[in-house]
């Protein structure tokens, strides 16, 4: 059962989506008022000169969303961005840190997050309550 609250949230999301698409399409259609797949590909070829493959892929995804939405709602005759494929982006090889490196990074993060104010705390001399030994009652 759909509640009134859920319907209101869905309506708000739909309005947000339409506004986002409107902004994107207004900007895009200013440069290409009658987009067809070929003109979008030509535009992307220009973008490839200044953008990374991942950036171009994100741009394509951003174009596909509103055109697909308009097509699904019957407001645009065809989806000119539909047949365009995103460029393949190689995955960066991740280095897996050793336990010692992880431990040092975690300790550095803790020290940065909670800088010690007293020398006793810096040296790690604390009791269970977090107070420096010999203090705190």
pLDDT tens-digit readout, 88-97: 877 777 788 7
Q: Which helix (H) or strand (E) holds 103?
A: helix 99-113
Q: Which residue has the higher pLDDT, 92 or 74?
A: 74
Contact call for residues 81 and 37 (beta carbons, < 8 A): yes
> What is the rounded distance in angstroms from the CA atom of residue 79 to the CA atom of residue 107?
52
Minimal CA–CA distance to 59: which of 78, 76, 46, 75? 46
DSSP letter at 132? Answer: B
Minimal CA–CA distance to 21: which of 74, 61, 77? 61
Write down the pLDDT at residue 34.
81
Write down the pLDDT at residue 122.
52
Minimal CA–CA distance to 60: which of 75, 74, 77, 48? 48
Write down the pLDDT at residue 24.
79
pTM of the model: 0.51
Q: Which residues pair with 22 in a beta bridge?
A: none
Which of 7-11, 20-24, 79-83, 94-98 is least confident? Answer: 7-11
Write down the pLDDT at residue 117.
55
Q: For residue 26, give both structure tokens.
A: 């207004």
């Amino acid at each position: 059962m759909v509640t009134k609250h859920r319907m209101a949230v869905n309506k708000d999301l739909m309005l947000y989506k339409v506004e986002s698409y409107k902004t994107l399409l207004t900007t895009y259609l200013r440069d290409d008022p009658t987009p067809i797949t070929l003109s979008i590909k030509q535009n992307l070829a220009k973008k490839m000169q200044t953008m990374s493959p991942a950036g171009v892929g994100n741009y394509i995804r951003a174009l596909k969303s509103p055109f697909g939405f308009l097509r699904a709602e019957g407001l645009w005759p065809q989806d000119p961005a539909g047949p365009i494929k995103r460029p393949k982006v190689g995955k960066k090889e991740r280095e897996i840190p050793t336990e010692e490196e992880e431990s040092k990074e975690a300790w550095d993060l803790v020290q940065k997050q909670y800088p010690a104010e007293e020398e006793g705390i810096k040296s790690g001399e604390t009791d269970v309550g977090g107070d420096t030994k010999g203090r705190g009652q």
